[in-house]
Copies of this chain bind each other. A is one copy, B any other.
Amino acid sequence: MKKIIKDEDMCEVHVTHPENIQQALCHQLDDEKSQKLAEIFKILGVPSRIKLLSLLINEEMCVCDIAEALNMEQSAISHQLRVLRDAHLVKFRKEGKEAWYTLDDDHVVKLMNQGMEHIMHL
């Protein structure tokens, strides 16, 4: 008897272990959470931004000083600070012409330390 080929049999992806996939779909992070989670990590995924944040761990700094310390254009620093502000990673206060930046909270430090642990662990 000739084997009848149905539409679902034509699917290119061969489902090897349906039960595993089922379990996976139950536990995976939803779109919104994985999106937001990736967002912070992406922001932390740039050396110059990591350096910038590491500066602010120790002291409040103004834009000009940060630029000098990182040997980068003031414009570039301002760009990065904008990104870090939007992500609630840093905050600032204006004092005359100057803007003084600090870390928004200690979550950032914890994240960086956790990352360092992975680095050290090889």
Give the copy number: 2
A40 touches B119 (CB 8 A): yes
Residues of B with C-beta under 8 A to A20? 59, 61-62, 65
* CB-based contact B74/A13 at 8 Å: yes
Q: Mark A13-54, 1 if CB is under 8 A from B, else 0.
A: 111110011011101110101111111111111110111001
Q: Which of A52-78 contact B (CB under 8 A)?
A: 54-55, 57-59, 61-62, 64-70, 74
| Count of chain A residues near B, Cβ 8 A | 63
Q: Is the CB of A24 within 8 A of B61?
A: yes
Those of A97-122 within 8 Å (CB) of chain B: 98, 105, 107-108, 110-112, 114-119, 121-122
Q: Return A42 CB to nearest CB of chain B, in Å.
A: 3
Given contacts A38-B45, A62-B17, contact A57 B27 (CB under 8 A): yes
**A88 contacts partner chain B, Cβ-Cβ < 8 Å:** yes
Binding site for B on A (CB under 8 A): 13-17, 20-21, 23-25, 27-29, 31, 33-47, 49-51, 54-55, 57-59, 61-62, 64-70, 74, 88, 98, 105, 107-108, 110-112, 114-119, 121-122
